[in-house]
Amino acid sequence: MKYLDEFRDPKLAGRLVDRIRRAASRTWVIMEVCGGQTHGLLRHGIDEALAGAVELIHGPGCPVCVTPIESIDFACELAKRPGTIVASFGDMLRVPGSNGSLNRSHQEGGDARIVYSPLDAVELAIRNPDRDVVFFAVGFETTMPATALAVLQAADRKLQNFSILSAHVRVLPAMRGILSDPGNRVQAFLAAGHVCTITGYREYGELAARFGVPIVVTGFEPVDLLEGILECVTQLETGRHCVTNRYERSVRAEGNREAREIVDRVYEVADRPWRGLGIVPGGGFVLRRAYEQFDARWRFGSVATELPVLGDVRCRSGEVLSGRIRPTECAEFGEGCTPDSPLGAPMVSSEGACAAYFRYSRFPGQIACPVLSGQE
Amino acid sequence: MIGDRITLAHGEGGWLSRQLIERVIAPAFANSVLGPLNDSAILPASPRRLAFTTDSFVVTPLFFPGGDIGRLAVFGTVNDLVVSGARPRWMSLALILEEGLEVDVLRRVLGSASDAARASDVQIVAGDTKVVPRGAADKMFVATTGIGEMIDPVPPGPAAIEAGDVLIVSGPVGRHGIAILAARENLGLSPPPTSDCGSLAGLVEALRSREIPVRAMRDATRGGVTAVLHEWASTCGLTLAVEEHWLPVGDDVRGASELLGLDPIHIANEGTMVVAVPQGVAEGTLQALRGRPEGAQAAVIGHAEVDRGTPVMIRRGLGRERPLDLPSGAMLPRIC
Between CA B138 and CA B115 the distance in angstroms is: 24
- Confidence grade of residue A363 (pLDDT, cut at 50, 70, 90): low
Q: What is the DSSP string of B282-336?
A: HHHHHHHHHTSGGGTT-EEEEEEES--S-SEEEE-TTS-EEE-PPP-S-SS-S--
Which letter, b or e, does each residue of A184-195 get, where b requires 16 or more Cβ atoms within 10 Å of its Cβ? bebbbbbbbbbb
| Nearest-10 Cα torsion for B231, B232, B235, B236 | -160
- Per-residue model confidence as pLDDT tens digits over B137-168: 999 999 999 999 999 899 999 999 999 999 99
Residue of chain A nearest B252, judged by CA positions: A1
Sign of the Cα pseudo-torsion (B25, B30, B31, B37, in order)? positive
Q: Give the pLDDT of residue A310.
A: 59
| ipTM score for this prediction | 0.75
Q: Give the pLDDT of residue A370.
A: 31
Residues 6+ apart with CB under 8 A from B280: none
Q: Give the pLDDT of residue A309.
A: 56
- Per-residue model confidence as pLDDT tens digits over A164-190: 999 999 999 999 988 998 889 999 999
**Chain center to CA of B138:** 21
Cβ-based contacts of B189 with chain A (< 8 Å): none
Mean pLDDT of B293-298: 98
Whether residues A366 and B323 touch (CB distance < 8 A) is answered with yes
Mean pLDDT of B268-279: 98
Whether residues A1 and B255 touch (CB distance < 8 A) is answered with yes
Among candidates B309, B317, B329 on the partner chain, residue whose Cβ is nearest the Cβ of A13? B317
Select the residue from B328, B331, B332, B334 to test the A interface by mutation, using most A Cβ atoms within 10 A: B328
Between CA A135 and CA A118 the distance in angstroms is: 7
Residues 6+ apart with CB under 8 A from B242: B167, B225, B229, B265, B301, B302, B312, B313, B314, B315, B324
Between CA B315 and CA B321 the distance in angstroms is: 4
Angle at A340 between CA A111 and CA A82, to 5 degrees: 10
Q: Give the pLDDT of residue A340.
A: 83
Between CA B71 and CA B198 the distance in angstroms is: 8
Mean pLDDT of A60-69: 86
Mean pLDDT of A85-111: 92
Cβ-based contacts of A348 with chain B (< 8 Å): 329
Q: Which of B104, B30, B23, B118 is nearest to B62 (CA)?
A: B104
Between CA A141 and CA A191 the distance in angstroms is: 13
**Of the ranges A87-101, A137-151, A348-362, B101-115, which one carries the lowest mean pLDDT score?**
A348-362
Whether residue A255 has pLDDT greater than 50? yes
Q: How many CB atoms lie within 10 A of CB B116?
A: 25
Fill in the amino acid letter for B202.
Answer: G
Mean pLDDT of B194-219: 97
Q: Which of B254, B258, B252, B262 is nearest to B190 (CA)?
A: B252
- Per-residue model confidence as pLDDT tens digits over B217-269: 999 999 999 999 999 999 999 999 999 999 999 999 998 888 888 899 999 99
Residues in chain A: 376
Whether residues A340 and B329 touch (CB distance < 8 A) is answered with yes
Q: Give the pLDDT of residue B56.
A: 97
Residues 6+ apart with CB under 8 A from A188: A28, A29, A30, A31, A213, A214, A215, A216, A232, A233, A235, A236, A241
User: Of the segments A4-13, B181-190, B269-278, which one has the largest average pLDDT value?
Assistant: B269-278
Q: Give the pLDDT of residue A374.
A: 27
Higher pLDDT, residue B240 or A116:
B240
- Per-residue model confidence as pLDDT tens digits over B29-77: 877 666 666 788 889 988 999 999 999 999 999 999 999 999 999 999 9
Whether residue B187 has pLDDT greater than 60? yes
- Per-residue model confidence as pLDDT tens digits over A327-344: 988 999 988 898 888 888
- Per-residue model confidence as pLDDT tens digits over A28-46: 999 999 998 998 999 888 9
The answer, as to whether pTM is greater than 0.80, is yes
Residue of chain B nearest A115, judged by CA positions: B185
Higher pLDDT, residue A367 or A202:
A202
Q: Give the pLDDT of residue A154.
A: 97
Cβ-based contacts of B254 with chain A (< 8 Å): 1, 4
Using an 8 Å CB-CB cutoff, list residues of chain A that contact chain B. 1, 4, 8-10, 13-14, 17, 42-46, 48-49, 90, 94, 116, 222, 338-340, 348, 350, 355, 358-366
Whether residues A364 and B254 touch (CB distance < 8 A) is answered with no
Fill in the amino acid letter for B243.
Answer: E
Mean pLDDT of chain A: 89
Among candidates A43, A355, A363 on the partner chain, residue whose Cβ is nearest the Cβ of B316? A43
